């Protein structure tokens, strides 16, 4: 059983398109996150949600909109994709506080052409 699963694993799309990445966790955690890993492997948080409520939005462009239909899901919608959006996007979950283990999904490699 995969604890944190993301789909799709790979996504290639043209500039200007709108795309979504889905994330689900079956751990019963209250908090979910989206991280972006750039080509230099640098990881930076984008969003965190706790019980479906947005907690952190780290100066991410408005083209990125997370949606949490329930606390087991946190989807990422990206509008008007740009070349600079190409990266690996990781979903993660943890108990309410970060002071416990965080589980990461396998990542979604987004390539914008």
Partner 1 sequence: GEDVEQSLFLSVREGDSSVINCTYTDSSSTYLYWYKQEPGAGLQLLTYIFSNMDMKQDQRLTVLLNKKDKHLSLRIADTQTGDSAIYFCAENPGYNKLIFGAGTRLAVHP
Footprint of partner 1 on this chain (CB under 8 A)? 4, 31, 33, 40-45, 48, 50, 55-56, 58, 90, 92, 97-99, 101-107
C-beta closer to partner 1: residue 54 or 113: 54
C-beta closer to partner 1: residue 73 or 107: 107
CB 80 → partner 1: shortest distance, Å?
Answer: 26
C-beta closer to partner 1: residue 36 or 81: 36
How far apart, in whole angstroms, are the C-alpha atoms of residue 1 and residue 91? 16
85 φ, ψ (degrees, to nearest 5): -80, -10
How far apart, in whole angstroms, are the C-alpha atoms of residue 59 and residue 65? 12
Token pair, residue 99, equals 């002071």
């Amino acid at each position: 059983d995969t604890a944190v699963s993301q789909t799709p694993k790979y996504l290639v799309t043209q500039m200007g398109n709108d795309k979504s990445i889905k994330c689900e966790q079956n751990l019963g955690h209250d908090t979910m996150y989206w991280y972006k890993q750039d080509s230099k492997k640098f990881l930076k948080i984008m969003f965190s949600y706790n019980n479906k409520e947005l907690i952190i939005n780290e100066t991410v462009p408005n083209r990125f909109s997370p949606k949490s239909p329930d606390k087991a899901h946190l989807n990422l919608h990206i509008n008007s994709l740009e070349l600079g959006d190409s990266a690996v996007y990781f979903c993660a979950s943890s108990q309410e506080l970060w002071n416990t283990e965080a589980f990461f999904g396998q990542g979604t490699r987004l390539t914008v052409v």
